[in-house]
């Protein structure tokens, strides 16, 4: 009996040790997730979606990424979406669901879907998007609420307006808007449920990646951050957002007292930096050269700063002798811009584009 007990205790300790090792290993893997790829034959990159699911699907179909029944058909292609799936438009949840599905299908075909975190994902994870006017739409707000809570509030609304002769759909939208803006409990439900379901998925992804010596990032890489390794940028950003996320899930406001922000909400950080899109090319050329040299990159692809009101072309979307590409062309109906994608194939950049049919 004593020998059996010793063996069982030994096996128990062994299992605990293996569990702790595997947990630590998985944590290290998540913290240092891969962010550099080489020898990729084809890359397709798309900028800010801002909740416009229909236009996003149109781009994916017409650039050969998915079939009309929404399945991956692009083989070994790497598809990059540079963040800002959320806010301004109604259907961010549907875009996330499609990206999650395509991630799995692409892996099976030796391809890759790269979703990058944008500043609007940052603001929703940390809970501050609800405090900004015209960011979170009522439709987006409702889509990320827990089902039980949503049904309860809709039942209360119907009981209050069941005899109304007014447009019930419009009244319901106004009702959700008021809850979104003024009801602390409703706001907490949104933040908590979004983070538990989609925030966790978002934080498994990168802020900046490099494919074939081309850097992809939402806002841009400033001179200061160009001296960082991409792995360190991604790890630090995930750490900061995770710390704030956990504080929100505990119902705490403000920043954790021990947290020093180096990337989140920083004007020169990769979520918010705009100078690559705005600075005079002649004046800023030496800075761009330094950034590229530090990154060991041939080009950098950014979004975040919309290029609207013009035809999407290599001339209008590139700067600094095609070393900087701006791929936010106002794809969302909210902006009324142009549907576009940047394609890299056979060593060259190409632009696919067409007018936004909804705004003709």
DSSP string, 22-51: HHHHHHHHHHT---EE---SEEEEE---TT
pLDDT at 336 over 50: yes
Confidence of residue 9 (pLDDT cuts 50, 70, 90): low
Cα gap 234→34, rounded to integer Å: 10
Q: Is the dihedral of CA 272, 143, 89, 206 positive or negative?
A: positive
* Cβ atoms < 10 Å from Cβ of 190: 26
- Determine contact, residues 64/29, Cβ cutoff 8 Å: no
Residue 307: the pLDDT is: 86
| pLDDT(182) > 70 | yes
How many CB atoms neighbour CB 281 within 10 A? 11
- Residue 258 burial (10 A CB sphere; 0-12, 13-18, 19+): exposed
Average pLDDT over every residue of 75-83? 98
CA 115/CA 208 separation, integer angstroms? 10
Domain ranges, ordered by start, for the chain: 40-359
Pick the CATH number of 40-359 from 3.60.21.10, 2.40.420.20, 3.40.50.1820, 2.60.40.420: 3.60.21.10
Distance (Å, whole) CA 157 – CA 171: 9
Q: Report the mean per-residue pLDDT for the chain.
A: 91
Asked whether residue 283 carries a pLDDT value surpassing 80, the answer given is yes
Q: Convert the pLDDT of each residue in 129-150 to its tens digit.
A: 999 999 999 999 999 999 999 9
User: Tokens 């416009």 correspond to what residue?
Assistant: 52
- Per residue in 185-237, pLDDT tens? 999 999 999 999 999 999 999 999 999 999 999 999 999 999 999 999 999 99
Whether the pLDDT of residue 99 is over 80: the answer is yes
Which residues partner with 113 through β-bridges?
A: 79
């Amino acid at each position: 009996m004593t020998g059996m007990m010793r063996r069982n205790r030994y096996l128990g300790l062994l299992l605990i040790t293996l569990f702790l090792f595997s947990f630590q290993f998985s944590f290290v893997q998540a913290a240092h997730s891969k962010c550099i790829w080489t020898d990729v034959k084809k890359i397709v990159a798309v900028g800010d979606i801002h909740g416009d699911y229909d236009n996003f699907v149109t781009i994916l179909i017409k650039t050969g990424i998915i079939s009309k029944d929404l399945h991956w058909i692009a083989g070994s292609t790497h598809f990059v979406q540079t963040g800002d799936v959320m806010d301004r438009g109604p259907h961010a949840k549907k875009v996330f669901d499609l990206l999650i599905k395509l991630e799995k299908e692409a892996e099976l075909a030796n391809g890759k879907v790269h979703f990058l975190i944008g500043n609007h994902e940052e603001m929703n994870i940390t809970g501050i998007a609800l405090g900004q006017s015209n960011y979170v739409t009522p439709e987006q707000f409702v889509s990320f609420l827990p089902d039980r809570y949503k049904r309860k509030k809709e039942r209360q609304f119907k009981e209050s307006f069941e005899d109304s002769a007014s447009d019930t759909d419009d009244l319901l939208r106004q009702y959700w808007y008021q809850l979104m803006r003024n009801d602390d409990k409703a706001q907490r439900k949104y933040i908590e449920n979004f983070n538990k379901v989609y925030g966790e998925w978002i934080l498994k992804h990168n802020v900046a990646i490099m494919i074939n010596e081309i850097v992809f990032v939402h806002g841009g890489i400033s001179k200061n951050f160009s001296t960082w390794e991409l792995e360190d940028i991604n790890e630090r950003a995930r750490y900061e957002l995770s710390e704030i996320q956990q504080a929100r899930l505990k119902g705490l406001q403000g920043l954790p007292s021990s947290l020093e922000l180096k990337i989140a909400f920083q004007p020169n950080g990769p979520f918010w930096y705009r100078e690559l899109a705005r600075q005079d090319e002649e004046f800023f050329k030496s800075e761009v050269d330094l950034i590229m040299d530090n990154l060991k990159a041939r080009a950098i692809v950014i979004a975040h700063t919309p290029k609207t009101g013009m035809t999407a072309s290599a001339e209008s979307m590139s700067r600094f002798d095609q070393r900087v590409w701006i791929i936010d062309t106002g794809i969302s109906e909210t902006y009324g811009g142009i549907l576009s994608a940047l394609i890299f194939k056979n060593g060259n950049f190409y632009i696919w584009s067409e007018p936004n049919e909804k705004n003709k």
